[in-house]
């Protein structure tokens, strides 16, 4: 007797957490279920206006559901992006009563590393081989009348000073040390980031079971 089941071609199981559509990156059911189980928010790819809307909405959702529950913010392979988008997320995170833990995986750079270090009220964790990049705010080029260029340049300097002060508050560094550190692109290892107080430790399996 032939077993029909054994004759069927074996189907490989694949799980895509994020898929690309014509509208950008979209979370699949698998990652949505994971985020729901973990009481978590996901930041991946460029940090822009769309990211801000998604993250802010999720933060408010979890806060309304349970204001005492820990919220985990996973920052996965993000090259950064808009500083104003990042600070908007930070402002809302400070408004809600929930404790927040940030978790960095893969590339965490620019505005993403700013959020990793400053968003958490609990622990800031990263994986062993995370790539961390901190730097001063960038501009794509200032154009216009001379007076407008001066105004834009002054705004950029003010933004840089705000970031320096923010990172100094959440680290072991002084404002002057942060300014010197961010004068050029600053790639740091997890150990270097821990020594400077920019993160708190490495992600462990027990953190997934800690609700």
The confidence score (pLDDT) of residue 28 equals 54
41: Cα separation from own chain's centroid:
10
Single out the residue of 200, 172, 183 nearest to residue 116, CA to CA: 200
Structure tokens at 118: 């400053």
Q: Find the mean pLDDT for residues 48-53.
A: 92
User: Among residues 110, 113, 118, 171, which one is catalytic?
Assistant: 110
pLDDT confidence band for 143 (50 / 70 / 90)? low
- Please tell me the predicted confidence (pLDDT) of residue 27: 53
Distance, in Å, from the CA atom of 130 to the CA atom of 3, rounded to the nearest integer, reads: 48
Which of 117, 118, 135, 171 is catalytic? The answer is 135
Q: How confident is the model at residue 24 (pLDDT cuts 50, 70, 90)?
A: very low
Q: Given this model, what pLDDT does residue 144 score?
A: 64
Of the given ranges (1-5, 65-69, 197-201), which has the lowest mean pLDDT?
1-5
Q: What is the pLDDT of residues 184-208, one digit of tens each?
A: 899 999 999 999 999 999 998 776 6
**What is the average per-residue pLDDT within 85-111?**
96
Minimal CA–CA distance to 57: which of 5, 106, 92, 15?
92
**What would the pLDDT profile of 111-140 be if each residue is shown by its tens digit?**
999 999 999 988 999 999 999 999 988 665
pLDDT band of residue 17 (cuts 50, 70, 90) is: very low
Distance CA 159, CA 109 (A): 17
Instruction: Note if 113 is an active site residue.
Output: no
* pLDDT of amino acid 207: 65
Told to judge if 110 belongs to the known catalytic residues of this protein, a careful annotator would answer yes
pTM of the full predicted structure? 0.80
Q: b or e along 186-210 (b: 16 or more beta carbons within 10 Å of the residue's beta carbon)?
A: bebebeebbebebbbeebeeeeeee
pLDDT above 50: residue 4: no
């Amino acid at each position: 007797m032939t077993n029909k089941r054994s004759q069927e071609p074996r189907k490989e199981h694949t799980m895509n957490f994020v898929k690309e559509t014509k509208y950008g990156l979209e979370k699949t059911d698998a990652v949505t279920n994971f985020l729901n189980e973990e009481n978590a928010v996901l930041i991946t790819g460029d940090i822009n206006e769309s990211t801000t809307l998604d993250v802010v909405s999720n933060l408010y959702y979890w806060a309304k559901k349970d204001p005492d529950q820990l919220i985990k913010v996973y920052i996965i392979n993000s090259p950064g992006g808009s500083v104003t988008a990042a600070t908007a997320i930070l402002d809302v995170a400070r408004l809600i009563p929930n404790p927040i833990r940030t978790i960095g995986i893969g590339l965490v750079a620019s505005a993403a590393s700013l959020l990793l270090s400053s968003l958490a009220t609990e622990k800031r964790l990263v994986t062993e081989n995370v790539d961390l990049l901190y730097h001063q705010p960038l501009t794509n080029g200032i154009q216009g009348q001379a007076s407008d260029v001066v105004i834009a340049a002054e705004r950029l300097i003010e933004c840089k000073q705000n970031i320096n002060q923010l990172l100094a508050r959440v680290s072991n560094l002084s404002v002057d040390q942060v300014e010197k550190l961010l004068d050029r692109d600053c790639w740091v290892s997890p150990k270097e980031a821990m020594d400077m107080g920019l993160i708190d430790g490495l992600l462990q399996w027990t953190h997934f079971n800690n609700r």
